[in-house]
Chain A
Amino acid sequence: MALAGNAINFSGVGQTFLTGTGSLTALDGVSVTIAQHEFVAVLGPSGCGKSTLLRLTAGLMKPSTGSVSVFGLPVTQPRDDVGIVFQKPTLLPWANVEDNVVFPARHKLGRVTPEDRAQAQAIIETVGLAGFEKRLPSELSGGMQQRVGIARALFLNPDILLMDEPFSALDALTRDMMGFELLRLWQASPKTVLFITHSIPEAALLADRVLVLSERPGRVIADLPVPTSRPRDETSLGSPEMQDYAAHLRSLLIRKEAA
């Protein structure tokens, strides 16, 4: 039933976890379709199952109800055509930047070819880390570490990029800059992006579309296209339509929290 050009499809997805004292419903009746090369931000309060959405797409867990399909095929096992960027960079502390970036190849296939090295070099340059190939993660700033995390996710050239609050651990200045860097990367090499965040400006600035999730159990309470055309820059958030849009998102989130 998935249309051509659809990358990810959630159909009536619910997720219930068993806990020590009973069960916990993280997601309930989520039905969303994400087109290929679309940049979708998922906005919601903490603990609303945003990350679960991401793990379902990656095939790291199975939905309790409903189904998830990627490129028209149901997700039944972990898939290697998705790149994941985590909240923390979670790099290998003993490996330098280059080795961290080629790690998916070493880990998946057990070897690293010269072509892999060349590919890593190209990606390292793309994310702006040229000259830092031999540095250890501990020698890099938080922003640079997350660049390595993004480079690692891009290494296998995935069709889908899953980002779980990737910039939330960074300071405000670095965070804005990383957002624009991400847009630049995405425009140079279009991918379907599922971007989890709890920042309204970040969602509005980066995404084509913003999904607002309710508090647990997470349901999609709004699915709103971002009104401003691309390319966007620092001034995009200042326009009246974007101000209204951000205010609307905020009211949705606050109403939910008051309820």
Chain B
Amino acid sequence: MTAADTPDTSAAKTPKPVTAAPSAKTVPLKERLLRTPVALPLMTFLLLLILWEAGTRLFSVPSYILPSPSRILLGFEAVPPGRWVEHIWATLRVALLGYLVSFVVSLPIAVGLAKSRLLSGALYPLLVVIQSVPVVAVAPIIIVVLGTGDAPRVVITFMISFFPLVVSMTTGLAATPPELIELSRSLRAPSLREITQIRLPYATPYIFSGMKISITLAVIGAVVSEFVAAEKGIGYFIQFSTSMFKLPQAWAGLVILVAMSLLLFQVVSQTQRIFFPWSLPKGQK
């Protein structure tokens, strides 16, 4: 074996720069901040909070205009923890169910779109039309048609979150190298196996991109549906609190929604990182 034929492990073995204590003095502060990815955004965030707190106090901004962070903290305490859990669970349940439905519906549609030009021609314009419908405007209609249970909310969430999934899955399924499709044909393998063993795994990076976009859209969908008709959920809670002029409480709900979105996004990201590490772009492994 020659040098040209040895395995390329340089990328995997490149040592990460270590921020060891002894070197800390010699390394400039700017460098050290850039090396710890969490520090910089966290500092920005804390600085913003301090400015916010100081600003609202200094100019005595009324809390129904903009409550200070400390008032928002009090807003959390104004509601018993059990109630919070109920609201959070209601929203989370609808978001996850809608997301699941999106995934299950998108998959066969994407396979059809990628495999058949006929189906693609027939279906794709329709999907674009559905995507172009302002879901917020249709939501009241859906609630009237489907009643007040979880079903209409799940449908609304689905309508908001499914399109990126279909598009990314279709793109991914079509991105398979044509050589592998030829290999599959030359082996005379069943068509289903071409999808499960070649096209779907190849689409994994694309599917995850779509899933990351869709999961935050699913939370938005759940909240929108609660705005229209609900008696529980964070969206409902924010609307209710606002109508009662309890703005710090509404802001507390908003903080929870942001946290929920971030958490769900991380769950999707980490799922890809742990179970499909090969599907990550180079340099992110």
Contact = CB atoms under 8 A, between A and B. Distances in A.
Interface stretch (B1-9, B43-51, B68-76): B1-9
B120 to A, nearest CB: 18
B31 interface: no
B42 interface: no
Nearest to B187: A108
Nearest to A128: B1
30 contacts: A55-B182, A60-B185, A78-B185, A80-B187, A80-B188, A84-B182, A84-B183, A88-B177, A90-B179, A92-B198, A92-B201, A93-B279, A94-B278, A103-B197, A104-B183, A106-B197, A107-B187, A107-B189, A107-B193, A107-B197, A107-B198, A108-B187, A108-B188, A132-B7, A135-B7, A138-B278, A139-B7, A140-B8, A141-B8, A174-B5
Main secondary structure of the interface of A (DSSP, over half): loop
A233 B276 CA distance: 44
Contacts of B189: 107-108
Contacts of B184: 107
Interface residues of A, number: 36
B26 interface: no
A182 to B, nearest CB: 14
Contacts of A173: 2, 4
B180 interface: yes
Contacts of B282: 138
Contacts of A84: 182-183, 186
A59 B186 contact: yes
Contacts of B279: 93-94
A136 B188 CA distance: 26
Contacts of A86: 179, 182
Interface of B: 1-2, 4-9, 12, 177, 179-180, 182-190, 193, 197-198, 201, 204, 276, 278-279, 282
Main secondary structure of the interface of B (DSSP, over half): helix
B200 to A, nearest CB: 11
A201 to B, nearest CB: 18
Interface of A: 55, 58-60, 77-80, 82, 84, 86, 88, 90, 92-94, 103-104, 106-108, 110, 128, 132, 135-136, 138-141, 143-144, 171, 173-174, 177
A60 B193 CA distance: 18
B121 to A, nearest CB: 17
A90 B197 CA distance: 14
B197 A141 contact: no
A92 B7 CA distance: 17
A141 B183 CA distance: 22
B5 A58 contact: no
Contact of B278 (A55, A82, A93, A107): A93
Contacts of A138: 278, 282
A5 B1 CA distance: 37
Nearest to A152: B183
A137 to B, nearest CB: 9
A143 B187 contact: no
Given A78-B187, A92-B198, 12 more contacts: A60-B186, A78-B186, A79-B186, A86-B182, A90-B177, A94-B201, A139-B7, A139-B8, A139-B12, A144-B7, A174-B4, A177-B5
A94 B7 contact: no
A60 to B, nearest CB: 6
A157 to B, nearest CB: 14
A79 B190 CA distance: 14
Contacts of B193: 107, 110
B2 A177 contact: yes
A135 B6 CA distance: 13
B278 A136 contact: yes
Contacts of B197: 103, 106-107
A184 to B, nearest CB: 14
B7 A174 contact: no
Contacts of B278: 93-94, 136, 138
A109 to B, nearest CB: 9
Contacts of A177: 2, 4-5
Contacts of A128: 1
Contacts of A58: 182, 186
